[in-house]
Structure 1
Amino acid sequence: MSKADELIGAALEALAREDEAAFDSAAAFLADRDDADRVLVEVVTRAVSGLWRNGWQPADVVRITVRRLSDWHGRAAADLIAWEMRAYAPATVDERWRDQLAELEASVWWTGGYLAARQARDGGGRLVTVSGVLELLGLLTGLPQLESLSPPPGAARRTVPARSHTVSEKTLARVRALLAKAESTTYGAEAETFTSAAQSLMAKYSIDAAMLDAQPGGGEGPAAIRVGIDAPYEQTKAVLLAVIAEANGCRVIWSQELGFATVLGFWADLSWVEMLFTSLLVQAQTALVNTGTRKHGTGRSRNKTFRQSFLSAFASRIGERLAEATAATVSQESASRGTDLVPVLAAREQQVEHAVERMFPNLVSRAVRTAWDREGWAAGHTAADQASLRTRDR
C-alpha cells in the first residue's frame, strides 16, 4: 500500500468518526503529494464500479451526492462516473444508463490530472479540491446495496426482437413534441389541442402494448425505474406519485432516506407515470404558491401544516380523478374493440405485484401521517379538481 493510499484510508476513517481535525490533516498531507491525483481518482473509480454491482445507477449516485453533500460534489461525481464508464464497450452498456449519462452531462472534459483540472475550473485551492473528492469517496463507500433494475455496465445487453406493430420512435418523437408545445404555449385552446393529440397517440400505444404482451410469446415482463422525491413535503409527494402509479397499473416503493421511489410496471406505463408526476407536481406547487401565506390568530405562521394538508388533499383527489378516467377509458376501449380489457389489464397488474414481491421480499408498509389543516385540505382538493390531466387521459 502506498503512502497516498494510507492517507486516503486515514481520511475515510476520520470522516466515519466525524473527526474534522484528523480529516483535515490527512487531506493536507495527501494534497502535498505528487501522486495524489492518480491514486485518489483510482480509488474513487473502484468505488463507483462497486456501486454498479450493488444496484446503483448514474442518476442515483449523483442524486444522493447532491442530497447529502452539495452541488459541487454532484458535479465531481458525474465527472468521475464518466471517467469510470470509459472502461466499457458501448454494446455492454444499457440504453437507460446512456440516457442518464446524457442527462447528467457526464463527460471526460479534462486532460491530464483530474484534481488539477477541477481546481482550475473552480478557481479554488488544491486542498479544497482534494478534501471535496475525499468527502465524495466517503459517501460512495458507505452507500447501501440496492435492488438491481438493469444489467450493470460490462454485461451483454439482452436484445428484444423488434415487433412490427409497436410504436415507432417517430411516433414517440411526435408525442414528445406535442407535449413540449402544450407546456410552452400560453393559450389554453392550443394546449388543449396539443395535449389531446398526444393523449390520443399514447393512449392507443398503452392499450396496444397491453394487448400485444397478452399474446403468447409477446412482450417482456415488468421493469422498474427510480424517481427522485425532493424536500420539502417528501411524504405527500410520494403519495402523489403512488396514486398516479396505481391508476396506471404501476406500484411505488418509497425509499425515504435515499430520496427516491422505485416505480414498477410495464414500459408503456412507466414513462407516463414519471411524466405525469412531474407535470402534476409543478401544477400543485404553482397553485400552492398562489394561495399565499397562512397565519394563526396569534400571528404565528401555519404555512407548514397548511401546505402539507394542501398537498395531501391534492394527491387524494388526483387519485380519484385518475381512477375515474382509467375506468371510463377501459370501458370505452373495450366497447370499441369488442374485447373485454378488464381481464387483460388485471393479469398485467398481477404481474407487477409479483415483480414487487420478487424485488422487495421484505417490504414493510407504514401508515402515512401528516399534519392537518382544514383550509389547506379544501384548497388542495379544489386545486386537484382544476389540475390538467391531459398528459395522460387514459
Structure 2
Amino acid sequence: MDGRLPLSAVRGTIDGVTSTASTVEQAFRAALYDDTDTGLDTGASLLAADPAADAELARRGEDFVATAWQRGWQPADVVRLVRRELDEGHVRLAAALIRAQAGRDRPRGPRWAGQLSALPAGPARTPDRFAHATAVLELYRLLLRLPALEPLEEEPRRTPGEAASRMLGRIRALLAKAEATGYPEEAEALTAKAQELMARHSVDEALLAAGAPAPDAPGACRIGVEPPYEQAKAVLLDAVATANHCRAVWNEPLGFSTVVGFEADLEAVDMLYTSLLVQATHAMTKAEAAQRAGGRRRTKTFRQSFLAAYAHRVGDRLAAAAETQVTRDLLPVLATRATAVTGRLERMFPETTTTRLRGVSDAAGWTEGARAADRAQVRARPRLE
C-alpha cells in the first residue's frame, strides 16, 4: 500500500460532495424562491431524504446570517423579527445559526457580544426530519428577504469606572423595586429617583468626555417596540429617549425604534423604557379591574388611550426629573452633545416623517393613564452628591 486512496473512494467523495450541494440547491430552488406550500414541501422532502446534506444546509444558513450583518442587522434584530413572523422553534434555529456563525466572525464590540450572550437557548432540532427541514426552509425564506437597515457601527467604549458601576447598580436596583411593588405610587417615586440618578450619570459622563483628548461620538442602538399598542409604546420610548438626551426614530413595519445618543444615555434609555413598560402594564391592569367592577368591559381603545396618556405624562415627569441635575455651567457641554446627536441622527435618517397616534378616543382610558402617571409627585430635589 502506498497510502493513496483507491480511485473509487476518491470518486465517491467527489460524488458525495456534489450530491450534497445538489440536494441543497434543488431544495432552495423549490422552496426559497417560491412562496407556495408546494415548493416548501418539495424542498423539505429533498432535504429530509438526504442526511448527508445537513452540514451544507447549516453552512448556507450561516452565510445567510453573515449577509444579514452586511445589510445592517444585528443578532437581537434577527431574533426579534423571527419571533414576530414565525414561532419559538424558528427562534431557536436562528439562535443556533447566529452562535455558529459567531465562531467564524470578527469581533464586533460589547453591545454585539451582549446580544450574543442573550440568545435563547434550547434544542434547535425536531425528531422529525421533514418537520425540521420545513422549519429551516421557512427561516431561510425570511432571512433571504431581509431589507437593508441603517448600519449601527460599534463605537469603542470606555470601561466604566468603579463609581459608574456603582451608579448603574443603584439604578437597576431602583427599577427592579419599582417593577416588583404592588403600589403604583411607590413605583412612580422609585422610577423618578432612578431618572434623577440616570441624569446625574449622564452629566458625569458628559463632563468626562468633554475633558478627554478624543471625545466620545454618539452611537445608536435598536430597541424592540412589540405589539400590541405599538404606537403608544413608541411614544413612550421617544419620551424616555428625549428625557435622556437621545433621539428615537420608529420603524413601524419591523417593530423597533433606533435610538441615537451617547453610550451612557443609550443604556439608561434601554433600562428605563423596559421598566416603564412593566409598570404601565401593572397600572393598566389595576385600572381595568376598577372599570370592570363598575360594569364596563375591557376594550382595546381603553388600553390604547391609557398607554398614550401614560407615555405623555411620564415624559413630562422624566424631563422634570432630569432637569434637576442640570446647572447653568453644564448647558454648553449638553448643547454640544445635543448637536452631535442630531447630526448623527440626520446622517442615519435623512428623511423621516411624523405620524399621528391612532385609537386615542377613550376618555376613561386617557384619564386613568394620566392619573397613573401623576400619582407620584416629581419634586425638584437638590443635586445628587
Secondary structure of residue in 2 paired with 1:262: strand
How far is 1:302 from its partner? 6.3
1:148 maps to 151
1:36 maps to 53
How far is 1:277 from its partner? 1.1
Indicate yes or no: 2:336 matched with 1:321: no
Residue by residue over 1:265-292, the C-alpha shift from the partner in whole angstroms, topping out at 9 and shown as x without a partner, is 1112111111111111111111111122
Q: Distance in 2 between matches of 1:230 and 1:259?
A: 6
2:41 is aligned with what amino acid? D
Q: 1:278-357 alignment to 2 at 5 Å?
A: 278-292=274-288, 303-330=299-326, 334=327, 340-357=329-346
Matched-pair contact (CA < 8 Å) for 1:44–1:80? yes
Q: How many pairs align?
A: 360
Q: Distance in 1 between matches of 2:325 and 2:248?
A: 23
Q: 1:80-229 alignment to 2 at 5 Å?
A: 80-88=97-105, 92-105=107-120, 118-119=124-125, 122=126, 124-151=127-154, 159=156, 167-169=163-165, 172-173=168-169, 175-177=171-173, 179-180=175-176, 183-184=179-180, 202-215=198-211, 217-229=213-225
2:33 maps to 13
Matched-pair contact (CA < 8 Å) for 1:240–1:316? yes
Matched-pair contact (CA < 8 Å) for 1:283–1:387? no
Q: Distance in 2 between matches of 1:373 and 1:194?
A: 29
1:112 maps to none
Matched-pair contact (CA < 8 Å) for 1:8–1:40? no
Indicate yes or no: 2:355 matched with 1:359: no
How far is 1:63 from its partner? 0.6
Larger Rg: 2
How far is 1:197 from its partner? 7.9
Residue by residue over 1:145-184, the C-alpha shift from the partner in whole angstroms, topping out at 9 and shown as x without a partner, is 1111125xxxxxx756779x78454554455456545655
Matched-pair contact (CA < 8 Å) for 1:248–1:269? yes
Indicate yes or no: 2:94 matched with 1:77: yes
Secondary structure of residue in 1 paired with 2:220: strand
Change (3 A) 1:365 1:130: same
Q: Distance in 1 between matches of 2:92 and 2:76?
A: 12
Change (3 A) 1:11 1:322: same
Residue by residue over 1:362-387, the C-alpha shift from the partner in whole angstroms, topping out at 9 and shown as x without a partner, is 22333333331111111111011126
Matched-pair contact (CA < 8 Å) for 1:14–1:22? yes
Indicate yes or no: 2:374 matched with 1:374: no
Q: Distance in 1 between matches of 2:308 and 2:187?
A: 27
Change (3 A) 1:303 1:179: closer
Change (3 A) 1:187 1:373: closer
Q: Distance in 2 between matches of 1:199 and 1:40?
A: 48
Q: Distance in 2 between matches of 1:137 and 1:23?
A: 11
Change (3 A) 1:201 1:303: closer
User: For structure 2, which runs of at least 5 residues remain unmatched after alignment?
Assistant: 1-20
Residue by residue over 1:106-151, the C-alpha shift from the partner in whole angstroms, topping out at 9 and shown as x without a partner, is 6xx8xxxxxxx744xx4x4110110001000000010011111125
Q: Distance in 1 between matches of 2:324 and 2:195?
A: 15
Matched-pair contact (CA < 8 Å) for 1:166–1:209? no
Q: Distance in 1 between matches of 2:301 and 2:133?
A: 42
1:275 maps to 271
Q: Distance in 2 between matches of 1:216 and 1:222?
A: 15
Secondary structure of residue in 2 paired with 1:136: helix
Q: Distance in 2 between matches of 1:175 and 1:292?
A: 30
Secondary structure of residue in 2 paired with 1:261: strand
Matched-pair contact (CA < 8 Å) for 1:309–1:373? yes
1:26 maps to 43
2:31 is aligned with what amino acid? A
Secondary structure of residue in 1 paired with 2:141: helix
**Corresponding residue to 1:260 among 234, 256, 261:** 256
Change (3 A) 1:189 1:307: closer
1:154 maps to none
Matched-pair contact (CA < 8 Å) for 1:280–1:387? no
How far is 1:216 from its partner? 6.1
Change (3 A) 1:71 1:311: same
Indicate yes or no: 2:243 matched with 1:247: yes
Secondary structure of residue in 2 paired with 1:24: helix
Residue by residue over 1:173-229, the C-alpha shift from the partner in whole angstroms, topping out at 9 and shown as x without a partner, is 455456545655679999899878866754432211112223363531111111111
Secondary structure of residue in 2 paired with 1:5: helix
Matched-pair contact (CA < 8 Å) for 1:306–1:376? yes
2:102 is aligned with what amino acid? M
1:114 maps to none
Matched-pair contact (CA < 8 Å) for 1:210–1:345? yes
Q: TM-score, normalised by structure 1?
A: 0.81
